[in-house]
A = this chain, B = another copy of it.
Amino acid sequence: MVDTASSVTTTSGAARATDQGAPQLNVAALADQLLGTWKKERLEARVTAAKPELHQVNGLSMDEHRTRVLGQLKILVDEGAIQRAYPTSVGGGDNHGGNIAAFEELVTADPSLQIKSGVQWGLFGAAILHLGTAPHHKKWLPQVINLEIPGAFAMTETGHGSDVASIATTATFDEATGEFVINTPFRGAWKDYLGNAALHGIACVLFAQLITKGVNHGVHAFYVPLRDASGNFLPGIGGDDDGLKGGLNGIDNGRLHFTDVRIPRENLLNRYGDVAEDGSYTSPIDSPGRRFFTMIGTLVQGRVSLDGAAAAAMKLGLQIALTYGSERRQFVAGDGKQEQVILDYQRHQRRLIPKLAETFAVTFAHEQLLVKFDEVFSGRDDSDQNREDLETLAAALKSLSTWAALDTLQECREACGGSGFLAENRLTGLRADLDIYVTFEGDNNVLLQLVAKRLLGDYSRKFKGADFGVMARYAADRAGDTVLHGTGLRQLIQNVSDLGSTGRSVGHVRETEYQRELLTGRVSTMIATIADRLKDASKLSKEEGARLFNENQNQLIEAARAHGELLQWEAFTEAVESTSDSGNKQILTWLRDLFGLSLIEKHAAWYLINGRLSGQRAEAVTAYVDRLVARIRPYSLDLVETFGYTPAHVRAPIATGAEKARQDEARAYYEQLRRDGNEPVHEKTLKAKKR
Residues of A in contact with B (beta carbons under 8 Å apart): 58-59, 61-62, 156, 158-163, 166, 168, 185-189, 192-193, 209, 211, 214-218, 242-247, 281, 286-289, 330-336, 339, 344-347, 350-351, 406, 410, 413-414, 417-424, 427-429, 431-432, 435-436, 438-440, 443-445, 449, 486, 488, 491-492, 495, 542-543, 545-547, 550-554, 557, 601, 604-605, 608-611, 615-616, 618-619, 626, 661-663, 665-666, 669, 680-684, 686-687
Contact = CB atoms under 8 A, between A and B. Distances in A.
Of A187, A286, A550, the most chain B CB neighbours within 10 A belong to A550
A246 B423 contact: yes
A14 to B, nearest CB: 30
Contact of A346 (B286, B330, B553): B553
B428 A680 contact: no
Contact of A215 (B333, B605, B681): B681
Contacts of A684: 218, 288-289
Contacts of A488: 488, 491-492, 495, 615
Contacts of A156: 418
A562 to B, nearest CB: 15
A421 B245 contact: yes
Given A244-B423, A422-B243, A615-B488, A443 B428 contact: no
B58 A243 contact: yes
Contacts of A192: 418
B486 A616 contact: yes
A244 B421 contact: no
A665 B662 CA distance: 62
Contacts of A619: 609
26 contacts: A59-B61, A158-B419, A161-B417, A163-B331, A187-B665, A188-B662, A192-B418, A209-B680, A244-B424, A247-B421, A247-B428, A281-B683, A286-B687, A288-B684, A288-B687, A289-B684, A346-B550, A347-B554, A350-B554, A413-B435, A418-B439, A432-B432, A488-B492, A488-B495, A554-B626, A608-B615
Contacts of A186: 662, 665-666, 669
B554 A243 contact: no
Nearest to A348: B445
A682 B215 contact: yes
Contacts of A331: 162-163, 166
Contact of A214 (B243, B609, B680): B680
Given A243-B423, A244-B59, A619-B609, A542 B158 contact: no
A247 B428 CA distance: 8
A449 B406 CA distance: 25
A168 B547 CA distance: 64
A335 B543 contact: yes
A642 to B, nearest CB: 26
How many copies of this chain does the complex contain? 2
Given A418-B156, A663-B159, A246 B334 contact: no
Contacts of A346: 550-554
A663 B542 contact: no
Of A243, A429, A683, the most chain B CB neighbours within 10 A belong to A683
A287 B687 CA distance: 9
A553 B162 contact: no
Given A162-B331, A216-B682, A417-B443, 16 more contacts: A159-B666, A162-B417, A188-B662, A188-B665, A217-B683, A243-B423, A246-B423, A333-B550, A335-B542, A336-B542, A345-B550, A420-B439, A486-B615, A604-B609, A608-B618, A609-B619
Contacts of A443: 414, 417
Nearest to A189: B666
Contacts of A422: 242-246
Contacts of A350: 554
A330 B162 contact: yes
Nearest to A332: B166
A423 B245 contact: yes
Contact of A288 (B332, B420, B445, B683): B683
The 7 residue pairs across chains A and B that have the minimum distance between CB atoms? A246-B428, A604-B605, A244-B423, A334-B546, A334-B543, A188-B662, A609-B615
A345 B665 CA distance: 58
Contacts of A608: 604-605, 608-609, 615, 618
B680 A216 contact: yes
A669 B169 CA distance: 12
A542 B188 contact: no
Contacts of A554: 346-347, 350, 626
A683 B216 contact: yes
A172 to B, nearest CB: 8
A431 B436 CA distance: 14
A439 B432 CA distance: 18
A444 to B, nearest CB: 8
A345 to B, nearest CB: 6
A132 to B, nearest CB: 21
Contacts of A615: 486, 488, 608-611
A529 B156 CA distance: 54
Of A192, A616, A618, A684, the most chain B CB neighbours within 10 A belong to A684
A118 B168 CA distance: 49
A110 to B, nearest CB: 15
Given A334-B542, A418-B156, A59 B243 contact: yes
A247 to B, nearest CB: 7
Contacts of A543: 334-335
Nearest to A158: B662
Contacts of A246: 413, 421-423, 427-429, 431-432
Nearest to A679: B216
Contacts of A427: 246
A686 B287 CA distance: 11
Contacts of A193: 418, 421
Contacts of A410: 406, 435
A683 to B, nearest CB: 5
A189 to B, nearest CB: 7
Contact of A417 (B439, B491, B552): B439
B211 A557 contact: no
